[in-house]
Structure 1
Amino acid sequence: MYKVKATKGDLWAAANDLSRGDLTEFHSLQSGRNPLDVIPKYLDETTHAIKCGSLVLAVGGHARGNIWFVTTNVVEMLSKGERFRFYKILKDHLRGIKEAAPEVQLGNIVSADNHAHIRLLNALGATFARGVVMSPAGFQFRQFWI
């Protein structure tokens, strides 16, 4: 398992195999979109992928302080030890981002129903705004900073 600069192919692979929670969150944010049309457009100099061999586990970036990542169904198949390794890669990457630009406030929103991501964000040290914001699709999201 390793982290690399993402390619358009990595983003396409992730968009084509979003985890159940991330696919639900994607549609809860704004309805009528196709992940294959949206996610590959987020490729920039900050975008990385976590892979296991040729399989994409996650992709994400942090352009202009707007931190994001999505996971694929491959993550659901990881053993407990592999999940810990995945978490460690995420945590080390986040530490590197913060060290490179300590003045940048990283944040975004997460679906109030995406409990797996909220648990992960809590483990990574995120703080959350009180209350919720409504998405254009009419679902509750929580703002966070990390």
Structure 2
Amino acid sequence: MALIIEKVKATQGDLYAAAADLSRGDLTEFHSLQSGRNPLDVIPKYLDETTHAIKCGSLVLAVGGHAQGVIWFVTTNVVEMLPKGERFRFYRILKDHLRGIKEAAPDVSRTNFVSDENYAHIRLLESLGARFSEVHYMSPAGFRFRQFWI
């Protein structure tokens, strides 16, 4: 029996659920950007009209948005628990969502930064067609990040 994975408009509860269960790479990146923050205090503040969640039933797999040309998303530990076929479905939903964003505003440049140490996120961004800056930036916490455009 296939699991039902779908993209929905995110709620405040979805952002809290994601913040409480960030994937290891995204949690490490969160702290590498700026130390002394709690994801539960930061991520729920990003709820706006562009914020969506990818869910499996009531479980949050990812949340993200793209306001004012800044595109972001974080994944939860739930993604790692999915069977391979369901992880592929998750990826297709993410890819379709990105295509929709690009079609709705083709002239908008979408960008953000990713930690050099978040290998899983970098691989995912590469598979989605991201281009990366050759320049490295140091975060306020003292870690290397690269800008990407997608």
The TM-score normalised by the length of structure 1 is 0.99
Runs of 4+ deviating beyond 6 Å: none
**1:95: how far off?**
0.2
Match 2:84 to one of 43, 64, 80: 80
Using the aligned pairs only, state the percent identity. 82
Q: Does residue 1:145 correspond to 2:149, yes or no?
A: yes
**One-letter amino acid matched to 1:11:** L
Deviations 1:67-88 (A, max 9, x none): 0000011011011101110110
Mapped partners of 1:71, 1:117: distance in 2: 9
Match 1:10 to one of 11, 14, 17: 14
Q: Does residue 1:120 correspond to 2:129, yes or no?
A: no
Structure 1 gaps, min length 5: none
Match 2:33 to one of 26, 29, 32: 29
Q: Does residue 1:55 correspond to 2:80, yes or no?
A: no
Mapped partners of 1:19, 1:122: distance in 2: 18
**Cα-Cα RMSD:** 0.4
**One-letter amino acid matched to 2:91:** Y
**One-letter amino acid matched to 2:120:** A
Deviations 1:96-126 (A, max 9, x none): 0000001110010000000000000000000
Q: Where does residue 46 of structure 1 map in the other structure?
A: 50
The TM-score normalised by the length of structure 2 is 0.96
